[in-house]
A and B are shown apart, each in its own frame.
Chain A
């Protein structure tokens, strides 16, 4: 892979016009923002670990657009990417995160007690509840850029930390490369197993290199708390269970996350975080809380209502298919989650999901009875 310092200097022998990517058929955040001027200004720069502008934008060049969602089209290779390439990333962040300004401050709130309600979403409609986030370990480069040595060090630290967990969090680590067939089968049945990325959005950014080396899955014995190691981020932390008790899911999420952070700190390792961008992750779309709190919910009637999209927008929620970000919904069951990541806290975002899903289930019930829902349409949150 070519885009390091020496080759970067080599490329400077060519003019900006000659190196500037052809983005005329592209529709992603990077393509909307990157002008020849910005390219010219940033192309001779690199982060301390050697990440360059072409590294940042390669995935956006290789993937012109996505049918279901507006993709970001750029990634960070390390914590410093967000600083060195801010001329590109600040406007992308602003565009993606509802006008978030370079001077704005982000709030972190992982006190689950601050959540109101959330323990009574109707399980006849809400099939499952889940909260996930990501964490990056300070001092290492990120998945698009890291070497095998770095990735293995991250895995080792993570295993140590996770093995210290006890009580409801006591669990076990399954490295992808030494998984038995039986373990693999079980993890698939539990819907836990993550596989080598096939999405070109991820593979073009270099995140799948050396697969499955130093990748693995840890989960607690109860199968309600799960950590992915070295997939799209250093760590992805997931709390989930069947049914509609989002409150319990969020409690476990917050408690577990805090325990993990404490253990890392005991080993002199912090998570990447700053007061402007919150938690630093590989994709600019996951900055801030990195949190996606969501449910799988049956909304066969509401989803065909003319105002469904509008309602979701006003509730600051987004829909996905139940297969994840690149999929379509099946059988009227949708994955509904918070749309925001940056500029509001974890509690605030989960609150939006809890309140919003409660409302939509009420609307679904009304529509089942053939009643109108116009009076229930919410104002913009």
Chain B
């Protein structure tokens, strides 16, 4: 893999125009923002760990566009990427996160008691509830850039920290490379197992290198709290359960996350966070809270309504298929979650999901009865 400092020097012998990528057929945030002039100004730079502009944008060059969502087209290789390449990343962040300005401040709020309601979403429609976020451990490079030594160190620290959890959060770590067939089958049946990325969005950025070395899954005995180690981010923390009790899911999420953070701090490691970008993660789309709270919900009638997309937009929600980000919906069941990540707190985002889903289910019930939903269409949140 070529994009280190020395090879970067070699590339500077070619003119900027010769090196500038052909983005004429591209449709992603990076392609919208990166001009030849900007490329010229940034191409000689590197972060302290050696991540360069071409490293940042490679995934966006290799992946011109995605049928379901507008992809970001760039990644961070370390915390400093967002600084060294702010000229490229600030406009992308602004475009992606609803006009978020370089001078804006982000609010963090993982106090679960601040959430109103959320314990009574109708389980006839809401099949499952889930909240996830990511965390990066300060002092290490991120998955597109980290070496095996770094990745293993992240794993070792994570295993130690997670082993200290107790009570409802007592659990076990399953390293991907040592998993028995039985363990693997169980994790698949529980819908917990993550596999080597196949999405070219991830592969092109180098996140799958050395798979499955230092990757693993930790979950509690109750199977309601789960941590992925070294997938797209250092840590992905997930709270989930069947049914519509999002409040309980969020309670567990906040409690677990806070405990994990203090365990890391005890060992001298903080999470990457700053007051402008909130939690720093690999993909610029996950900055801020890094939080995606969502449900799998049956909306066969509502989803065919002419105003479905509009309603989602106004509620600041997005839809996905139930297989995850790159999939389509099956059988009228949708994954509906918050669209925002940055500029709103965790509590605010989960509140939007809770309130929005409640409304969508009401609308579904109306349509089932052949009634109109016009009076329920919300204003823009």
Contacts and interface: CB of A to CB of B under 8 A. Distances in A.
A146 B2 contact: yes
Q: Which of A4, A14, A145, A206 counts the most B-chain CB atoms under 10 A from its CB?
A: A4
A310 B6 CA distance: 48
Contacts of B19: 147-149
Contacts of B48: 6
B21 A210 contact: yes
A315 to B, nearest CB: 39
A377 to B, nearest CB: 43
Nearest to B177: A22
B354 interface: no
Q: Which of A1, A52, A208, A209 counts the most B-chain CB atoms under 10 A from its CB?
A: A1
Interface string B1-23: 11111111111001100111110
Nearest to A61: B210
A18 B62 CA distance: 31
Contact of B62 (A8, A149, A204, A208): A208
Contacts of B6: 4-5, 46, 48-50
B50 interface: yes
A7 interface: yes
A147 B7 contact: yes
Contact of A206 (B1, B46, B153): B1
Interface stretch (B106-114, B143-151, B228-236): B143-151
Interface in B197-214: 203-204, 206, 208-211, 213
Interface string A51-68: 110110010011000000
Contacts of A256: none
Contact of A7 (B4, B20, B148): B4
Given A1-B58, A62-B208, A147-B14, A213 B22 contact: yes
B77 interface: yes
Contact of B206 (A2, A4, A11, A145): A2
Given A2-B141, A2-B145, A10-B50, A150 B14 contact: yes
Contacts of B61: 209-210
What are the 6 closest A-B residue pairs judged by CB atoms, nearest first? A4-B4, A50-B6, A6-B50, A149-B14, A14-B149, A1-B1
B27 interface: no
B100 interface: no
Contacts of A50: 2, 4-10
Given A2-B3, A2-B4, A150-B11, 6 more contacts: A4-B52, A7-B4, A10-B147, A46-B6, A62-B208, A141-B7
A204 B208 CA distance: 9
Given A2-B3, A2-B145, A14 B15 contact: no
Q: Which of B1, B145, B148, B206 counts the most A-chain CB atoms under 10 A from its CB?
A: B1
Given A22-B213, A203-B203, A213-B21, A6 B14 contact: no
B51 interface: yes
Nearest to A150: B14
B364 interface: no
Contact of A6 (B1, B4, B25): B4
B54 interface: yes
Interface residues of A, number: 50
Contacts of B313: none
A211 B62 contact: yes
Contacts of B5: 4-7, 50
A19 interface: yes
B251 interface: no
Give the contact-size bracket for chain B: 35 or more
A203 to B, nearest CB: 7
A148 B50 contact: no
Contacts of B177: 22
A61 to B, nearest CB: 6
B18 A55 contact: no
A26 B6 CA distance: 31
Determine the main DSSP class of A at the interface with B.
loop
B148 A4 contact: no
A38 interface: no
Interface in A1-44: 1-11, 13-15, 18-22
A77 interface: yes
A177 B7 contact: no
A14 to B, nearest CB: 3
A125 B178 CA distance: 49
Contact of A148 (B4, B21, B206): B21
A235 to B, nearest CB: 20
11 contacts: A1-B1, A4-B6, A4-B8, A6-B4, A6-B49, A9-B50, A14-B149, A51-B7, A61-B209, A144-B2, A145-B1
B144 A2 contact: yes
Contact of A1 (B2, B149, B152): B2
A314 B7 CA distance: 45
A49 B46 contact: no
A107 interface: no
Interface string A137-165: 00001001111111011000000000000
Contacts of B25: 177
A149 B77 contact: no
A18 B147 CA distance: 10
A149 B11 contact: yes
B2 A145 contact: yes
B10 A153 contact: no
A314 B152 CA distance: 46
B106 to A, nearest CB: 28
